[in-house]
């Protein structure tokens, strides 16, 4: 009895240590693993005219998103002004409607592909395949000037964006509830309506043409600057002591956890439904890649930090304090890490079957067939 008690006691200590270790592997990275937002996209019930107005039945029935919050989440104050959006679709086009409260509506950039985030703008980020590669960004200011770009990989992977890329068939329109570029009055809001053809997103993206049940990674951002009036025009405010621009506000739909929109894995999830927008609403569930995939993303973040400190990637999971085998919600999974010189690939197996992989460039793939 005494020997059995000792064995049981020691085993309990070991299991307790393993459990604590598993619980603590995300320590210091919690801000990158807050649950992302979801939104159900339903099909239109009438034709939508891109005019910045909301009088179509499809827009009247579509649900508003949650109000935007700070890009870093709860660690920062709530935005000064509200912003929200709606989405609907048909077989060829994604429609987006956004409403942005603003007491001082201004925009001077008037040529496409000017860098409009140097003024107040509204931004859309779309990754149809949810693999963080081959994704799209659309930025529009209150003057309806478009800055669109395509990125083969996030900036963190040392890739320059393709600014010359243009979204064929893209349309947008602005409605200003107030007056544009007039510092002498107080405005209410500006509304932007977008039409993005799925064909424009067909660059090695299997999900560029959604079907019922298709999910995309997507996020929305609003850049707002503190302003002052010089010579009758709005201008970005500077710190009087340093002469440097005061950093902009970044307000988003699904918080990133850091001041960087180019972490596509942190974007929210859009679920496409073929139900009409005036039908009974379904709940948009995040794919299991959001829950199971977090272990591979933790590995990616830790490998990046490890290389910065050591000049090379870790060759074992133990160096990263990540267990090879674990269990969550009754599902057993294991991680296999392969390192070859200055590259690596990690595979997540669920119940013994390959499910997802990630490499040193953050390319996240589903291995399910």
Taking only the tens of pLDDT, the chain with its 369 residues reads: 444 433 333 333 333 334 434 458 999 999 999 999 999 999 999 999 999 999 999 999 999 999 999 999 998 999 999 999 999 999 999 999 999 999 999 999 999 999 999 999 999 999 999 999 999 999 999 999 999 999 999 999 999 999 999 999 999 999 999 999 999 999 999 999 999 999 999 987 888 999 999 999 999 999 999 999 999 999 999 999 999 999 999 999 999 999 999 999 999 999 999 999 999 888 888 898 999 899 999 999 999 999 999 999 999 999 999 999 988 878 899 999 999 989 999 999 998 899 999 999 999 999 986
Residue pair 260/310 in contact (Cβ under 8 Å)? The answer is no
pTM confidence score: 0.92
Q: Which of 173, 182, 190, 184 is nearest to 102 (CA)?
A: 190
**pLDDT value at position 369?**
64
Bridge pairing between strands 146-151 and 249-252:
unpaired
Partnered with residue 139 across adjacent β-strands are: 123, 147
**pLDDT value at position 23?**
56
**pLDDT value at position 12?**
37
Give the whole-angstrom CA distance, residue 237 versus residue 104: 14
Long-range contacts from 85-88, C-beta under 8 angstroms, 24+ separation: 85/220, 85/253, 86/59, 86/62, 87/39, 87/41, 87/62, 87/270, 88/41, 88/42, 88/43, 88/44, 88/48, 88/58, 88/59, 88/62, 88/277
**pLDDT value at position 282?**
81
**pLDDT value at position 16?**
39
Length, in residues, of the chain: 369
């Amino acid at each position: 009895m005494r020997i059995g008690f000792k064995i049981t006691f020691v085993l309990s200590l070991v299991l307790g240590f393993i459990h604590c270790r598993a619980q603590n592997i995300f320590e210091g990275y919690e801000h990158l693993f807050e649950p992302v937002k979801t939104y159900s996209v339903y099909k239109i019930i009438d034709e939508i005219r891109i005019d910045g107005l909301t009088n179509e039945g499809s827009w009247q029935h579509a649900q508003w998103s949650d109000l935007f919050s700070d890009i870093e989440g709860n660690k920062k104050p709530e935005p000064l002004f509200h912003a929200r959006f709606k989405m609907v679709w048909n077989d060829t086009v994604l429609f987006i409607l956004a409403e942005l409260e603003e007491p001082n509506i201004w925009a001077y950039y008037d040529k496409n592909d000017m860098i409009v985030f140097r003024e107040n703008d509204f931004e859309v980020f779309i990754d149809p395949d949810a693999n963080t590669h081959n994704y799209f960004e659309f930025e529009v200011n209150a003057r309806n000037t478009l800055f669109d770009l395509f990125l083969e990989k996030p900036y963190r992977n040392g890739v320059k964006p393709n600014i010359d890329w243009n979204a064929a068939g893209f349309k947008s329109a602005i409605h200003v509830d107030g007056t544009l570029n007039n510092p002498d009055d107080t405005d209410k809001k500006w509304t932007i309506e977008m039409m993005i053809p799925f064909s424009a997103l067909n660059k090695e993206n299997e999900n560029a043409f959604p079907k019922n049940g298709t999910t995309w990674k997507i996020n929305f951002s609003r850049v707002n600057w503190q302003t002052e009036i010089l010579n009758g025009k709005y201008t970005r405010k500077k710190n009087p002591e340093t002469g440097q621009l005061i950093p902009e506000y970044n307000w988003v739909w699904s918080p990133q956890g850091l001041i960087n929109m180019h972490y596509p894995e942190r974007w929210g999830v859009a679920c496409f439904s073929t139900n009409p927008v005036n039908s009974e609403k379904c709940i948009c569930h995040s794919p299991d890649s959001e829950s199971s995939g977090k272990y591979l993303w933790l590995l990616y973040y830790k490998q990046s930090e490890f290389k910065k400190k050591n000049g090379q990637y870790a060759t074992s999971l133990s160096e990263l304090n990540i267990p090879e085998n674990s269990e969550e919600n009754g599902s057993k999974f294991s991680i296999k890490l392969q390192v070859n010189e200055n590259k690596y690939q990690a595979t997540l197996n669920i119940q013994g079957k390959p499910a997802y992989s990630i490499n040193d460039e953050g390319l996240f793939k589903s291995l399910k067939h």
